[in-house]
Amino acid sequence: MQSFALTLDKFIDHAAKWHGARTVATASRGAIQQRTGYAELRARSNRLSGALLALGLRPGDRVGTLAWNSQHHLELYYATMNAGLVCHTLNPRLTPAHLAAMINEAADRVLAIAGSLLPMLPELLPLCEAIERVIVLDENSPIDSACGIPVDGLDALVEAEGCAVAWGRFDEASPAGLCFTSGTTGKPKGVVFSHRSNYLHTLMSIQPDAYCLSAKDTILVAIPMFHANAWGFPFSAPAVGASLVLPGRELDGASLAALIRDEQVTIAGGVQTVWIGLLDHLDVTGEDLPSLERVIIGGSKCPDALIRRMEERLGVRVQTTWGMTEMSPLGTADSPQFPPAAERSSGRPPIGVDLKLTDAAGVTLPEQRGVVGHLKVKGPAIIDRYFGATEDALDAEGYFDTGDLATIDAEGSLTIRGRSKDLIKSGGEWINPAEMEAIIGRDPRVGQVAVIGKPHPKWGERPVLVVELRHGEADDAQAFVEALRGRVADWWLPDEVVRLPSMPLAATGKIDKVRLRAAYAEGELDRHVVSVR
């Protein structure tokens, strides 16, 4: 058989040759600002590779990106990775100090930044040790130097230094991307994606029982491209020839509705908080989005009430998934080929992902179905070791510990039962917040819900229920406690109910329980307490 390295240039080459007219559209505030075909995007990315190499970058060097979902960001994906460089995506919503720590750990030599984020540079750049050059993604001409570091506009750089280069002349095991975990449960850690892992992840994700993508689709990517490769859509869409809609920075309901309607979007991907805003907007305007067929959700468990609301209001199939940055990120998906189950799970793993349940000591459970265990995973697109680590993160059988508690049913579908780090130990016994969150999440009045532990002088910890109600819903804290009574042990019932106008969220849209616990400890939530049991 022919030698065929699994490198990411193959995807954009394929799209340019066979789906060259299919488009990548970039928006701002719901209006398209830029549109290109895959053939043109491939040519621009290739010339940008030449420009980056002309700056003195060499294979393995890291290029940091501080950017939103846009054509220029996608061009940088392919320009860096296909030239053997490493695309280090950074979260623009982090503080300069946190960003600098990641930039320094990665030893990024170049920083590519969206024009709207330029005000960050005076505070950020003095903290960065290795940055030699800044590239502004959406500016057409060079800009004055920042903190003594040369700054170029992307288009001007390509015009001055861009030239065609050969892509993919390196080993498929070479690093392609670097992303730090969201840090919602602990210190962020770097995850390195290889060309081979991203290639295989793409083949897994496009399967009919996973994302089920094809050339007829137009995909709205409402997942940040700075987090876990936007669930792999920048690779899977060109791999099948699907059109892409990149919404930019704005993910409000009005902007998303306009894009879905005007671009005839068939599939949309994003975390649950994005779709709450869309639904609220549609409820006010009364408009429909008839082109939309499926919404793929992930990031955290979605309340059943929200899933029902989405399917009824949008007339779509909501497809639940589970994964994590360390898995590239797809782990399991609810198949769109079958009717949805009454109780939604996260679906089954595609080929290339294996699951096992263990006890707290890491011993594999003798029975793997119908029991709660600690979830471990194995596969070619799953982390071996974290960036900079000297030892791998696997057990003796080569499985990675996800930190999740889970069950697997008789059909092999996975249901996440909570994070082991989120468990609350009260009086020497464990309380699982996820079980209570699932119950309260079924209430149609509830937008988002979280259960956290508070210190207690006698019991060690006690649970606190935190809710964000849908707009216009009245407080009824005691009703939430009563909804739990009889469905969980009495000693699990929360001591306090806190109503927040909005939950603290990580950039990925997950509820940030680290910030929530810190805010509670510092007394910032005291004024929001609506019930004390």
With respect to residue 427, please indicate whether it lies within any of the assigned structural domains: yes
In this structure, what token pair is assigned to residue 191? 């995850």
Q: For a pLDDT cut of 70, what percent of the chain falls above it?
A: 98
Rounded to whole angstroms, what are the CA distances from 51 to 106, 113, 151? Answer: 22, 16, 14
What are 374's two structure tokens?
């600690």
Over residues 432-446, the pLDDT tens digits come to 898 899 999 888 889
For the segment 37-57, the average pLDDT, to the nearest whole number, is 98
The pLDDT value given to residue 260: 98
Same domain for 127 and 43, yes or no, is yes
Q: Is residue 378 annotated as part of the catalytic site, yes or no?
A: no
CATH number at residue 352: 2.30.38.10
More confident residue, 533 or 21: 21
Residue at a domain's end among 387, 419, 451? 419
- Let me know whether 399 and 506 are in one domain: no
Query: What pLDDT shows up at residue 425?
Result: 83
Please check whether residues 242 and 177 belong to one and the same domain: yes
C-alpha dist (Å) from residue 345 to 139, 332, 342, 408: 45, 9, 9, 9
Identify whether 492 is a catalytic site residue: no
Q: Which residues contact 111 (CB under 8 A, 6 or more apart)?
A: 63, 64, 65, 66, 103, 125, 128, 131, 133, 134, 135
DSSP state string for 9-34: HHHHHHHHHHSTTSEEEEEETTEEEE
**pLDDT of amino acid 73:** 98
Shared domain for 296 and 359, answered yes or no, is no
* pLDDT tens digits, 504-523: 987 667 788 888 988 888 88
User: How many CB atoms lie under 10 A from the CB of residue 234?
Assistant: 26
Structural domain contains residue 201: yes
Task: Give yes or no: residues 174 and 110 share one domain.
Answer: yes
Using pLDDT thresholds of 50, 70 and 90, give the confidence band for residue 240: very high
Going across the sheet that includes 460-469, the strands are 446-456, 460-469, 496-499, 529-532
pLDDT band for position 140 (cuts 50, 70, 90)? low
pTM score: 0.86
Q: Are 218 and 273 contained in the same domain? A: yes
Query: At residue 148, does pLDDT exceed 90?
Result: no
Residue 53 lies in a domain: yes
| Boundary (domain end) residue, out of 392, 419, 446 | 419
- Could you tell me where the beta strands, DSSP code E, fall in 420-521? 424-426, 429-431, 446-456, 460-469, 496-499
Distances in Å between the Cα of 296 and the Cα atoms of 41, 243, 248 are 26, 16, 19
Would you state the pLDDT for residue 26? 98
Total domains present in the chain: 3
Domain range enclosing 458: 423-532
- Compute CA distances 260 → 263, 264, 266, whole Å: 6, 6, 8
Name the catalytic one among 7, 23, 181, 358. 181
Q: Are 219 and 309 part of one and the same domain?
A: yes
Residues 306 and 364 in one domain: no
Residues 151 and 45 in one domain: yes
Determine the average pLDDT of the residues in 281-291.
97
Residue 141 has pLDDT above 60, yes or no: no
Pairing of strands 31-37, 429-431: unpaired
In the predicted structure, residue 289 carries a pLDDT above the cut 80: yes
Active site residue 181: yes
Q: Which of 17, 95, 312, 430 is catalytic?
A: 430
Any idea what the CATH number is for the domain that residue 62 is in? 3.40.50.12780
Give 41's Cβ-side CA count (13 Å radius). 34
**Interatomic CA distance for residues 272 and 245, integer angstroms:** 19
Q: What is the pLDDT of residues 414-434, one digit of tens each?
A: 998 888 888 888 887 888 898
Does the residue 143 lie in any domain?
A: yes
Instruction: Give the chain's mean pLDDT.
Output: 93
Could you tell me if 27 and 33 are in contact, meaning their C-beta atoms sit under 8 angstroms apart? yes
- 110 within some domain: yes
* Token code pair at residue 416: 């996440």
Model confidence at 68, pLDDT cuts 50, 70, 90, reads very high
Residue 293 lies in a domain: yes
Mean pLDDT calculated for residue range 281-294: 97
Catalytic residue among 425, 482, 491, 524: 425
Q: Quick check: 405 pLDDT over 60? A: yes
Provide the CATH number for the domain around residue 515: 3.30.300.30
Q: Which pLDDT belongs to residue 275? A: 93
To the query of whether residue 185 is one of the catalytic residues in this protein, the response is no
pLDDT tens by residue, 127-139:
999 999 999 998 6
Q: Is residue 174 situated within a structural domain? A: yes
Reported as a single tens digit per residue, the pLDDT across 169-219 is 999 999 999 999 875 555 789 999 999 999 999 999 999 999 999 999 999
- Whether residue 252 has pLDDT greater than 90: yes
Q: Which of 326, 437, 468, 496 is catalytic?
A: 326
Same domain, 78 and 214: yes
Same domain, 183 and 255: yes
Q: Please state, for a pLDDT cut of 90, what percent of the chain lies above it.
A: 75
Average pLDDT, stretch 352-377?
A: 96
Residue 94 pLDDT = 86
Q: What's the pLDDT at 139?
A: 66
Say yes or no: 526 and 474 in one domain.
yes
How far is 482 from 378, CA to CA, in rounded Å?
Answer: 41
Q: What is the pLDDT of residue 531?
A: 78
